[in-house]
C-alpha cells in the first residue's frame, strides 16, 4: 500500500510522515501531514508581544518557531486552508525576522560566543546591514534598530533552543555559568529594543528563573503553564482523529494512549509527543522512540547522587515556583524531571492558600524506560540478567511467591558489597525499595509507590492480571521480625482495593542491614 492510498473508511489519502522535519515550508509544500497550530499563533499575536515557552525535546518547538517566521514574512500561500489564514492582519506586509537557533555544541569555552557572532554575521549579510559594534548585545540591538528603520516595520525576534548552551554544559559548571551570563546580556537586548520589536518568542526545554537568566528581560510572558496554550505543541486525541485517521487502522487505540499519551500543561486535554506518534505510524511497533533519542545520563546521575529512587518519583508534589527553579547552581529535582518531560502534571491542588501540582509519569514509555535506566545505575549488568526478560511477569502471573523470593535473593546476593555501600541510598529501605520498584516498572508494570490508604501509605502497590499485590519494605538488623507483613495487616492497606473484587496479596519484605539481602519474604492473601 502506498502512502497516497486511503486505508480507512474516511476516504482520506495517506500522506508522508514529517519525521524529524522542523521546516514549515517543507511540510506544507511536500505533501506531509500537518497538525494546524496556527490558531495559537494568532492568539499570541493578538494578546501580547514578548513570550516564553518551555516544552521537552522533540515536542515541535522548532516547527512552531519556523511557522511563526513564515507568517510574519507574509508567505500567505503556505497558510491557505489553515486557521490563521483569514484572520491574519495583512499578508502583504513582510516583517523583518531575526531568528537565533542554538542547536550547536556548547560544551567548550568560547563555543557560544563564536556561534552567536556567526549567526549575527549571517543575518547582517542577508539583510544588508553593516555591523557597527564589537559585542554581541551591541550588534544585536543595532541589527534590530537598523531593520526597523530600513524596512519600516517593527522586527520579530525568535530564539529557538534558547537554553541549550547552558544545558549542554551542566556537567561542566564553569562553562555553564559562563554561557548563562553571556546569554543574560544577549537576551537583555530584547527589552532595550522594545520600541523596535513587534513580537518575541523564546522557546526551549527549561524554565530558567528570571533572576538567573532574564534579569534584564522582565517583560516576558511565560505561557508554559497557561491552559490556553497547553496544546500549542504536541498532538491531541482530536488531532489523531482529524489528521492521522488513515494511519490508525491496525493499531490498538488504548495501547497508543497507554504508551504515548499523558503530557499535561494544565489544559483540558492531554497531549502526545509528536515524535513518538510519527515513529509509531511509520514502524507500526510500540517502542520507546522518544526516550531512546536522548539517554538521560545526567538526570539519572543526579537522581542517584540525591538518593532519589523510583519509589519517590510517581506522586511528587511541587509548587508552581518550584517547577521554575532551574539554574546551574540550583536545579530542583521536581523541576528537572518536569521540564525534561519525565514527569508531568497529574492534578492541581490548593493547600494553605498556595497552588501545588501532583507530578507523575506521563505514560508507559517514560515509566518503563526511565526505570530501566535507574535499574542500570542501581544494579551491575551481571546482576540485572536475573530480572530481565519476562521472568518476573511469569512468576507474578503464576503467583509464584517462592520463585519471586528466590529471584530477588539471588539478585541482591550478586550485587558486590561495595556497589551498594557506595550508593547514596545504601543501608536504607529506599535502596532496596527502589530496586524492587525499578525491576517491576522496567518490565512495563504500573507500580504505585507510597500509595495512600486510610491506614497510611503502602510502600508499593502493583495491579496485574486481575490481582493486587501490596508490598511493604523494612530494613532490620539481623533477623526476620515479621514487622513488614504485620504493618500491612494492621494498617488495613488492603481496604481501598476490596471493591475491585480481586485477590489481594500482602507481601512483607525485610532486608538485613548487615547482609544486604532479604531475611524475610512473608506473604498473606486477603
3-49 per-position pLDDT tens digit: 555 455 556 789 999 999 999 999 999 999 999 999 999 999 999 99
- pLDDT of 153 reads 96
Is residue 490 scored above 50 in pLDDT? yes
User: Which residues are within 8 A (CB) of 397 and not within 5 positions of it... i.e. 6 or more apart?
Assistant: 464, 465
505, β-bridge pairs: 469, 525
pLDDT given for residue 329 in this prediction? 80
Encode pLDDT of 233-281 as tens digits. Answer: 999 999 999 999 999 999 999 999 999 999 999 988 899 999 999 999 9
| Domain definitions of the chain by residue range | 35-229, 297-525
Q: Higher-confidence residue: 170 or 259?
A: 259
Greater confidence, 513 or 445? Answer: 445
Q: Which residue has the cell 500522506?
A: 15
In the chain, DSSP finds a helix count (H) and a strand count (E) of 19, 13
Whether 103 and 161 have beta carbons less than 8 Å apart is answered as yes
Contact yes or no for 525/488 (Cβ under 8 A): no
Q: How far apart are CA 363 and CA 365, in angstroms?
A: 6
Greatest Cα pair distance in the chain: 83
- The helix (H) or strand (E) run that includes residue 299 is helix 297-305
The CA distance from 205 to 207, in Å, is 7
C-alpha cell, 257: 494512549
Cell numbers found for residue 81: 486552508
Distance between CA 526 and CA 514 in Å, rounded? Answer: 32
Q: Which CATH class is domain 35-229?
A: alpha beta
With contact defined as beta carbons under 8 Å apart, do 322 and 335 qualify? yes
Q: Does residue 338 contact residue 323 with C-beta atoms inside 8 Å?
A: yes
**Mean pLDDT calculated for residue range 147-160:** 96
Q: Is the pLDDT at 138 greater than 80, yes or no?
A: yes
Share of the chain above pLDDT 70, in %: 92
Residue 322: its pLDDT value, please?
Answer: 83
How far is residue 35's CA from residue 240's CA, in Å, rounded to a whole number?
Answer: 9
Q: Is the pTM of this model over 0.85?
A: yes
pLDDT of res. 419: 66
The 10 Å Cβ neighbour count of residue 104 is 16
Buried b (16+ CB within 10 A) or exposed e, 145-157: bbbbeeeeebbbb
- The arithmetic mean of pLDDT across residues 217-224, rounded, is 84
Residue 511, strand partner residues: 475, 518
Is 492 or 450 the better-scoring residue by pLDDT?
492
| Confidence (pLDDT) at 209 | 66
Task: Give 180-244 as a DSSP string.
Answer: HHHHHHHHHHHHHTGGGEEEEEEEES----TTTT-TT-TT-EE-TT-GGGTTSSSB-HHHHHHTS
Amino acid at each position: 500500500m502506498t502512502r497516497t492510498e486511503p486505508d480507512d473508511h474516511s476516504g482520506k489519502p495517506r500522506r508522508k510522515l514529517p519525521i524529524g522535519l522542523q521546516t514549515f515550508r517543507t511540510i506544507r509544500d511536500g505533501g506531509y501531514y500537518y497538525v494546524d497550530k496556527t490558531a495559537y499563533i494568532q492568539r499570541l499575536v493578538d494578546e501580547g508581544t514578548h513570550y516564553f515557552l518551555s516544552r521537552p525535546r522533540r515536542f515541535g518547538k522548532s516547527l512552531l518557531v519556523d511557522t511563526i517566521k513564515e507568517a510574519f514574512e507574509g508567505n500567505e500561500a503556505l497558510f491557505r486552508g489553515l486557521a490563521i489564514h483569514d484572520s491574519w492582519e495583512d499578508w502583504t506586509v513582510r516583517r523583518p525576522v531575526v531568528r537565533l537557533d542554538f542547536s550547536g555544541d556548547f560544551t567548550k569555552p568560547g563555543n557560544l560566543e563564536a556561534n552567536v557572532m556567526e549567526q549575527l554575521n549571517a543575518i547582517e549579510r542577508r539583510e544588508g546591514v553593516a555591523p557597527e559594534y564589537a559585542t554581541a548585545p551591541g550588534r544585536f540591538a543595532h541589527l534590530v534598530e537598523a531593520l526597523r528603520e530600513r524596512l519600516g516595520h517593527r522586527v520579530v525576534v525568535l530564539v529557538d533552543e534558547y537554553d541549550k548552551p547552558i544545558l549542554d554544559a551542566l556537567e561542566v559548571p564553569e562553562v555553564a555559568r559562563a554561557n548563562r551570563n553571556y546569554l543574560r546580556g544577549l537576551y537583555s537586548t530584547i527589552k532595550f529594543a522594545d520600541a523596535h520589536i513587534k513580537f518575541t518568542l523564546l522557546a526551549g526545554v527549561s524554565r530558567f528563573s528570571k533572576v538567573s537568566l532574564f534579569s534584564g528581560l522582565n517583560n516576558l510572558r511565560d505561557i508554559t503553564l497557561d491552559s490556553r496554550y497547553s496544546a500549542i505543541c504536541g498532538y491531541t486525541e482530536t488531532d489523531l482523529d482529524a489528521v492521522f485517521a488513515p494511519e490508525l487502522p491496525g493499531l490498538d487505540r488504548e495501547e497508543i494512549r497507554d504508551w504515548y499519551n499523558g503530557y499535561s500543561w494544565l489544559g483540558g486535554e492531554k497531549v502526545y509527543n509528536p515524535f513518538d506518534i510519527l515513529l509509531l505510524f511509520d514502524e507500526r511497533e510500540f517502542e520507546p522512540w522518544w526516550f531512546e533519542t536522548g539517554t538521560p545520563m545526567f538526570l539519572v546521575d543526579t537522581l542517584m547522587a540525591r538518593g532519589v529512587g523510583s519509589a519517590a518519583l510517581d506522586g511528587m508534589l511541587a509548587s508552581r515556583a518550584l517547577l521554575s527553579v532551574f539554574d546551574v547552581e540550583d536545579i530542583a529535582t521536581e523541576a528537572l524531571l518536569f521540564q525534561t518531560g519525565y514527569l508531568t502534571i497529574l492534578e492541581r491542588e490548593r493547600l494553605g492558600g498556595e497552588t501545588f501540582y501532583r507530578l507523575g509519569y506521563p505514560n508507559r514509555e517514560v515509566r518503563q524506560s526511565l526505570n530501566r535506566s535507574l535499574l542500570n545505575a542501581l544494579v551491575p549488568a551481571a546482576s540485572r540478567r536475573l530480572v530481565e526478560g519476562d521472568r518476573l511477569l511469569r512468576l507474578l502471573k503464576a503467583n509464584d511467591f517462592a520463585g519471586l523470593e528466590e529471584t530477588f535473593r539471588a539478585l541482591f546476593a550478586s550485587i558486590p558489597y561495595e556497589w551498594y555501600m557506595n550508593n547514596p541510598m545504601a543501608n536504607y529501605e529506599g535502596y532496596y525499595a527502589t530496586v524492587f520498584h525499578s525491576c517491576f516498572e522496567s518490565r512495563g508494570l504500573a507500580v504505585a509507590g507510597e500509595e495512600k490508604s486510610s491506614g497510611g501509605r503502602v510502600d508499593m502497590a502493583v495491579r496485574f492480571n486481575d490481582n493486587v499485590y501490596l508490598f511493604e519494605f523494612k530494613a532490620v538488623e539481623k533477623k526476620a521480625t515479621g514487622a513488614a507483613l504485620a504493618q500491612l495487616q494492621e494498617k488495613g492497606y488492603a481496604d481501598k482495593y476490596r471493591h475491585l473484587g480481586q485477590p489481594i496479596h500482602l507481601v512483607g519484605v525485610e532486608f538485613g542491614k548487615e547482609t544486604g539481602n532479604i531475611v524475610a519474604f512473608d506473604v498473606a492473601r486477603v
